[in-house]
Structure 1
């Protein structure tokens, strides 16, 4: 239901530059919990999706990508947990674009409570045109406001992407664990 609510209300929340911070506030519900009664890992990833969707819808990138028949897909993501979110906790998902390289957009996302970071994530996304592969960032960047000059992709994100990537879908990637 959160996804449908976001889709129904995102544009009413006002236009947002792709280079600004999107903030969405939520409350931990029973279906967000794991067996230890704190928010489960998969719920965090779902809220990250909602944060990115809010930013791309409100910035106009989503409308343009739909017209161009382009889909955004997560290529890499990592999340670090600092404090637990528990039933009834109200938290904010903060989302911003950290930068881009030749093939991907990198997002920084945080879960905060009263301004304090509870978890932080890095997400690398590619834009794919069906049948044509990865859309060049030069094209994607024309769909957004110009990037601020100080928004340079951090070196650690470049290294993270290089060290965690898998082979292209056009190359073999066998699983060969022995035990």
Structure 2
């Protein structure tokens, strides 16, 4: 798990003077980078020509972050399925969750293709103490997925 301390800045605000909903995802990216660096994955990725892409994410808001409010972005790896890695990020004030995002990301090669998990874990070691991904997370990933890049995905409203 990783944690970074941030402050809500004037450039983070929307017209209602609280943290803009789109800003959370950018700030949670900082937590993801912190986690990549803390775990050594960032160095392994650079050495091997790998990069991560987010394939889906869902954010849930509970309370608003106000101007100059200090908060922590807490980040943790929560598991994987056959294709992707899952992380969770939280905006936390004094131990209380204000917002949470669930992220599904894939590890790709700059030369093309996906990095299989066995290769990823051989480079880093299999993380210990990570519980099985909860069933609802698999349901969420399936329900929010778009067709693969080589399959048609017409924009048709029903």
**TM-score calculated relative to the size of structure 1:** 0.84
Matched, 1:136 2:116: yes
CA displacement, residues 76-131 of structure 1 (integer Å, 9 cap, x when unaligned)? 00010000000010000000001011111100111100000001110000011134
Give 5+ residue unaligned stretches, structure 1.
1-20
**8 A contact 2:19–2:65 mirrored in 1:** yes
**8 A contact 1:93–1:111 mirrored in 2:** yes
Give the match for residue 84 of structure 1.
Answer: 64
Give the counterpart of 1:108 among 73, 80, 88. Answer: 88
1:142, distance to aligned residue in structure 2 (A): 2.3
Give 5+ residue unaligned stretches, structure 2.
none
**TM-score calculated relative to the size of structure 2:** 0.95
Count the aligned residue pairs.
158
**8 A contact 2:74–2:90 mirrored in 1:** yes
Matched, 1:161 2:147: no
- What stretches of structure 1 move > 6 A for 4+ residues in a row? none
Q: Distance in 2 between matches of 1:70 and 1:126?
A: 10
**8 A contact 2:78–2:131 mirrored in 1:** yes
Give the superposed CA RMSD: 1.3
